[in-house]
Amino acid sequence: MTIRIIYFILGILVPYFAEQYAYSRFISGREKPEIKESETVAQGYGWRLIWDASYFLLFISTGYRIILVMNMLSAFEWLGYFCFLLGVLLRILSLKEIGRFYDPGIVIKVDHQMVNTGPYRTLRHPLHLGTVLQIGGLAFFAPLWLALPAVFASLWLCLYLNRTEDQTHAQQLGAGFDTYYSKTWDIIDLIFWKVR
């Protein structure tokens, strides 16, 4: 069982804490940001509870599967693991690029600019996509009764937030966002074909 604990620590906890380190390194001011009069807040922070709860439950389930269940990992679980790692990597690269413009809610800052470097060059909302990839990857380790609601809730939340953020950016940033929008894609485009 000791070796399985080491697998869990190295395979799941280390990437998770690497992402947390990237967050603390690339995002200045971890305290709740003060909203200035000229900032536009389109969505608050309460929605994060859905992602946090899904992530936590799947994280616990993954730990149980890796540490206590003595079977070898299946091909699907390995696929989930690489999906999880891809989500972690995407979030780290995205946090590095977005820097001071990051906000857990949907906020247009006073001096807001479109970030179009790194993953943002081709993807809109790579942080959201990274979270969905992480949750989807961990879901491969969970029982179906836990995995399906967590993935569907996370995917629905991602679609809702991406659409809301696109609409807010279009209203506040105008032509600058329209140009960016036409050159990038998002998971929502696979369902709604770039409808705002």
What is the predicted pLDDT for the residue at 30? 44
Number of domain units in the chain: 1
**Helix, strand, coil share of the chain (percent; to 5):** 70, 5, 30
Place of tokens 């998770």: 16
What is the predicted pLDDT for the residue at 108? 74
Q: In which domain, by residue range, is 177 found?
A: 2-28+37-192
Host H or E run for residue 108: strand 106-108
Buried b (16+ CB within 10 A) or exposed e, 7-45: ebeebbeebeeebeebeeebbeeeeeeeeeeeeeebbee
Host H or E run for residue 153: helix 144-173
What is the predicted pLDDT for the residue at 194? 58
d(CA 84, CA 19): 12
Tens-digit pLDDT profile for the chain (196 aa)? Answer: 788 899 899 999 999 999 999 988 888 654 455 555 545 565 666 777 888 999 999 999 999 999 999 889 999 999 999 999 999 999 999 999 998 888 777 777 777 788 889 999 999 999 999 999 999 999 999 999 999 999 999 999 988 888 888 888 888 888 888 888 888 998 877 766 655 5
d(CA 178, CA 68): 50
DSSP 15-52: HHHHHHHHHHHHSS--SPPPPPTT-EEEE-STTHHHHH
What is the predicted pLDDT for the residue at 187? 81
- Compute the residue count for the chain: 196
Q: Amino acid letter at 46?
A: G
d(CA 155, CA 161): 10
Q: Amino acid letter at 109?
A: K
Instruction: Dig out the tokens for 1 from the structure.
Output: 């069982």
Q: Kindly report the CATH number assigned to the domain that includes residue 84.
A: 1.20.120.1630
